[in-house]
Amino acid sequence: MSTDFLLYTNDFDAAEREIQDAGGRITQHLTDYVFVAVLPENVSPDSLQHAQTTPLDAMDEVSNIMAESWSNLQAKRADQASDTEGLQWDAEGYDEPRTENTYPEIRDGIADGEEGEQQAPLAGAGTAIPTNDALMGTVAVGVVIVSGTDAKPQYQISASEKATIISEVKEALTWYTNFADYEIPVDLHGSTKIQSMTNLKYVYDIQFVEVDATPCSDPDKSTYEQCEAPWRDPALQKLGYGTGQAGINAYVTALKKDKKADAAYVSFFTKYPVHWFAYASKWSHRLVMAYSNDGWGPNQINRVFAHESGHIFGADDEYGSCSCGDTGGYLNVRNGNCVNCSNHTHVACLMDSNTLNMCQFTRGQIGWGWVIVGGFTEMTDVGQSKPYVVSQQWGQETPLKVPIGSGRTYSEQYGDNSLGYYYVYMMPMVDYMKKRANGEKVPPVLVGGYTEVRPDRNSSTSMQRNAWGKTTSDKVIVSAGLTYEGQYNPSGQSWGNSYGYLDANFNPTGDRVIIGGRFMVTNDTSRAEFIMKMHWGWPTKDDIDKFREKHEVLLGANYTVTAEYGSWSYSYMNFYLSDWP
């Protein structure tokens, strides 16, 4: 496990390099002086040379508010229960947060606007307006808090209220980073470093703006734009941008460029009258919230903000008039957790109700899906920890290398008394589909497989076990080992290869997708207790038992590498499959 820390630095780049070298990563870049980092358990923040746990002597206003908001967040975490926990967003007596999918006027009604002084330098900069196809990588978030002037005191947002907004936004985005952050060791034989499936990091741009605006007179009878533009456009102009959609485009484009981000969007908070208390538009890259947060209250801004941020990245609502036939996100994942689906057991999800949980369909819609495009076996002789020799490499190598298990290898394949570790290479599914759509060459994807077992290593008789997915003509060895006899041959030892099938015509809406896995080990000869040594992807560790019966496939069952896990130890390697198609 890893732990997240609030840290301070005078040299952000040096601090980030040091944390990455130590096996951790930064999840929230709050300001150039304050950030949140995830560190392995064996790394103390006090050991860092370029970061510290105590505030710097002199920091700007935003950095101080960020630090204060972190303290508020920790206090709130201690009392996590919500009076409206699990209540559907459209429950009687409450208003639901809205999106352009159901209310297209949120998108269509916004004025084109005019260019501002910041537009011209961006022309030809080579930084396109963000499309926000997947919630992964570096995401820049503009938080623009629009307050009234002394002439409009009823619309002023106090310092403590600004701190509340920032704390709530940070809590919402911390939920995403924690939910996405599956700790994958770089290897299974001694490394303390971790990888993350999404490598999700938020970079903030906090802006406090005061405007003397004439509010819309009747929010209920006015349009979204009629209530939003009077205070939004002057705020954008004070930041140096234009008005309307042109100004928003310029701001988010600058955010993406300046923060070196993969995606960007802007959120506006205000006490000025709005047509609806919370709404979002993926098309216009914006999210608008009233500080009062309607009946949900300011202390639940985090949940509404997280819900609306899901829309920014393509997630569908799962309540009200939603349809099971709808699809969402770049991958067109069906809305299979919609309350109106008749062939699916509905589970708690933020896109349906006020709960901090996420279903697999929402995960797919925001782009949290990966494809396995390669792999290899790393082997050595019994009793040795080095050298490791790469063998049976297949497919394409990628930056995301996931260890899936280990075992005493099948000697006919690798040599007598050899030990092996098994790895796969993964690629974000959104990146894969974009490359293919652009005509780039992409490797085949692992879409099926089975384990072949022999009761004796010299036997010509083999049995197929644990078949899953599609069968194709392109077959590779994923693992090979002296198998766990209790699984395949209770009366004695057996040998087995696990094979995978590759498909060059992978279809994310037709083929079941590998969305996670785990590696389980026991050194108890009774094999009564298996301990999870590695877990990645979905489902979460807490949800595995509910999910495994329908979606888990057994990749292999081996005697493990004894030097690492103890004499007479055994292991399971498993994949989890999606329920998207």
pLDDT at residue 81, as a whole number: 62
Tokens 């078949």 locate to: 467
Nearest one of 47, 498, 294, 399 to 307, comparing CA atoms: 294
CB 42 within 8 Å of CB 23 = no
pLDDT at residue 494, as a whole number: 87
Instruction: Report the b/e string of 545-576 with b at 16+ CB within 10 A.
Output: eebeeebbbebbbbbbbeebbeeebbbbbbbb
d(CA 513, CA 576): 8
CA angle 28, 337, 328 (to 5 degrees): 65
DSSP for 59-81, please give it: --HHHHHHHHHHHHHHHHHHT--
Tokens of 67: 């630090």
Segment (H or E) for 307 = helix 301-312
d(CA 348, CA 337): 9
CB 320 within 8 Å of CB 335 = no
pLDDT at residue 181, as a whole number: 57
Nearest one of 455, 460, 457 to 416, comparing CA atoms: 457
Strand-by-strand arrangement of the 445-454 sheet = 463-469, 445-454, 495-503, 474-482
Q: pLDDT tens track of the chain, all 581 residues? A: 567 899 999 999 999 999 999 989 999 999 999 999 988 888 999 999 999 999 999 899 999 999 888 877 766 665 566 788 899 999 999 999 999 999 999 998 898 877 665 544 433 333 457 789 999 999 999 999 999 999 999 999 999 999 999 999 999 999 999 876 567 888 888 777 888 888 899 999 999 999 999 999 999 999 999 999 999 999 999 999 999 999 999 999 999 999 999 999 999 999 999 999 999 999 999 999 999 999 999 999 999 999 999 999 999 999 999 999 899 999 999 999 999 998 778 889 999 999 999 998 999 999 998 899 999 999 887 656 667 888 889 999 999 999 999 988 877 777 777 888 999 999 999 999 999 999 999 999 999 999 999 877 667 788 898 899 999 999 999 998 888 877 787 777 788 889 999 999 998 878 888 888 999 998 877 777 888 888 888 887 777 777 776 788 998 888 887 777 877 789 999 999 887 76
pLDDT at residue 384, as a whole number: 61
Q: Quick one: residue 395, left, alpha or beta (phi over 0 = left, psi -120 to 50 = alpha)?
A: left
d(CA 256, CA 265): 9
pLDDT at residue 123, as a whole number: 35
DSSP for 384-417, please give it: -----EEEEEEE---SEEEEEEEEE--HHHH-TT
d(CA 219, CA 273): 6
Nearest one of 296, 555, 556 to 448, comparing CA atoms: 555
pLDDT at residue 509, as a whole number: 78
pLDDT at residue 124, as a whole number: 33
Question: How do the residues of the chain divide into helix, strand and coil, expressed in percent and rounded to 5?
Answer: 25, 30, 45
CB 266 within 8 Å of CB 142 = yes
d(CA 118, CA 254): 9
CB 4 within 8 Å of CB 11 = no
